[in-house]
Amino acid sequence: MDMKRRTRNTLIASGLVVALTGGGAAAWAADRFLVEHVEIADVSEYEAQNSTSDDTSSATTEATETTEETAEATVTDTSYTDGETSVTVSTVTEGSGDDTVTYYVADVVLSDATALRSAFAKDQFGENITELTSQIAADNGAIFAVNGDYYGFRDTGIVIRNGVVYRDEPARAGLVFYTDGTVEVYDETATSADELLAAGAWNTLSFGPAIVEDGAVVDGIETQEVDTNFGNHSIQGDQPRTAVGVIDENHLVFVVVDGRQEGYSAGVTLTELADIMTGLGATTAYNLDGGGSSTMYFNGEVVNQPSNGGERGTSDILYVAG
């Protein structure tokens, strides 16, 4: 979650030291940031019981079966194709010296909007439940995945995943993926999870900010904050980043920018991230959790170099199943 998570981890470590001496505030901090608060212990079962997308699920199943009959999946080091679904991963390096930036691009074409799925760490929903992006991806048979919005760090936002409502606490500008293939930025405070679901919402993301709208870089993104509650800090400056962009219906682009690694990749600002997205043809783009969380997974491997020297646990991913 960009620089704020590094600061947050420092605060937590300091708080635990104080907790050993009986600090009540530190006990609160540990409960707030470290203790798992499981609200749903079996997400797979919960989705099976609460899905309202029976028609969509049936259609998707039929389409998948048809695809399996007519085409076998083809996988290379940089691409995956299975019927009408394809993923192509590329690496871009720009600049030199301390200004070098390296980022990874995944061009994703979906056979159906519901082919883009979400999964939670440990197949559980709640706060502070984390697992490596690669592990969540492997557990769900993903051919491609990126870290999500780290919904589990907060108790606000509208969280709809795979057509099921998990949280309805409007707070910020979100991103909604509909079953018809359209994607849009929306104001959470002007609607509800039930209204979105009735309109065909398949997945929502609650992080941000939106960095591209109507094909143009959004004004003022360098001054925006994701949250204002304790533990959240600036997401500005050169940082590792993850973003999703929309090129057309069922045509998405994902970008993971590495950062905080001298001579390899410094990271980018939100404006620079927006410029990358528009350069790739995105007409809408949305910033996801970044910093040490920024991870791209393809064909069983993490393809980027996370800034912590390895993956950091996160609460959720977006993925395409293989």
The owner of tokens 């491609």 is: 144
Out of 22-26, 48-52, 158-162, least confident range: 22-26
Report how far residue 319's alpha carbon sits from residue 203's, in angstroms, rounded to the nearest whole number: 12
- Please indicate, yes or no, whether residues 157 and 12 belong to a single structural domain of this protein: no
- Please indicate, yes or no, whether residues 48 and 73 belong to a single structural domain of this protein: yes
Do residues 276 and 253 make contact, with C-beta atoms less than 8 angstroms apart? no
Greater pLDDT, 202 or 23: 202
Report how far residue 293's alpha carbon sits from residue 142's, in angstroms, rounded to the nearest whole number: 18
Cβ atoms within 10 Å of 45's Cβ, excluding its own:
11
Q: Give pLDDT, residue 64.
A: 45
Domain assignment of residue 24, given as a range: 1-34
- Please indicate, yes or no, whether residues 287 and 147 belong to a single structural domain of this protein: yes
- Please indicate, yes or no, whether residues 27 and 94 belong to a single structural domain of this protein: no
3-state secondary structure of 284: strand
Do residues 16 and 26 make contact, with C-beta atoms less than 8 angstroms apart? yes
Q: How many structural domains is the chain composed of?
A: 2
- Please indicate, yes or no, whether residues 187 and 78 belong to a single structural domain of this protein: yes
Which of 106, 114, 179, 112 shows the shortest CA–CA distance to 146?
A: 106
Out of 1-5, 248-252, 255-259, 277-281, least confident range: 1-5
Full-model pTM: 0.88
The owner of tokens 């159906």 is: 112
- Please indicate, yes or no, whether residues 241 and 283 belong to a single structural domain of this protein: yes
Pairing of β 316-321 and β 301-302: unpaired
- Please indicate, yes or no, whether residues 221 and 311 belong to a single structural domain of this protein: yes
Report how far residue 154's alpha carbon sits from residue 226's, in angstroms, rounded to the nearest whole number: 11
- The mean pLDDT value for 277-285 works out to 98
Is the pLDDT at 9 greater than 90, yes or no?
A: no
Is the pLDDT at 229 greater than 70, yes or no?
A: no
- The mean pLDDT value for 198-218 works out to 97
- Name the range with the highest mean pLDDT among 2-16, 226-240, 262-276: 262-276
Is the pLDDT at 284 greater than 70, yes or no?
A: yes
- Please indicate, yes or no, whether residues 25 and 67 belong to a single structural domain of this protein: no
Greater pLDDT, 259 or 22: 259
- Please indicate, yes or no, whether residues 140 and 4 belong to a single structural domain of this protein: no
Q: Give pLDDT, residue 233.
A: 52
Report how far residue 230's alpha carbon sits from residue 44's, in angstroms, rounded to the nearest whole number: 32
**pLDDT confidence band for 223 (50 / 70 / 90):** confident
Q: Give pLDDT, residue 96.
A: 95
- Please indicate, yes or no, whether residues 209 and 278 belong to a single structural domain of this protein: yes
Q: Give pLDDT, residue 3.
A: 41
Structure tokens at 149: 């919005």
- Please indicate, yes or no, whether residues 89 and 6 belong to a single structural domain of this protein: no
**pLDDT confidence band for 53 (50 / 70 / 90):** low
Q: Give pLDDT, residue 146.
A: 98
Q: Give pLDDT, residue 54.
A: 53
The owner of tokens 């528009």 is: 278
Cα 5-8-14 angle, rounded to 5 deg? 145
What average pLDDT does the structure give for the chain? 88
Distances in Å between the alpha carbon of 238 and those of 209, 259, 308?
A: 16, 7, 15
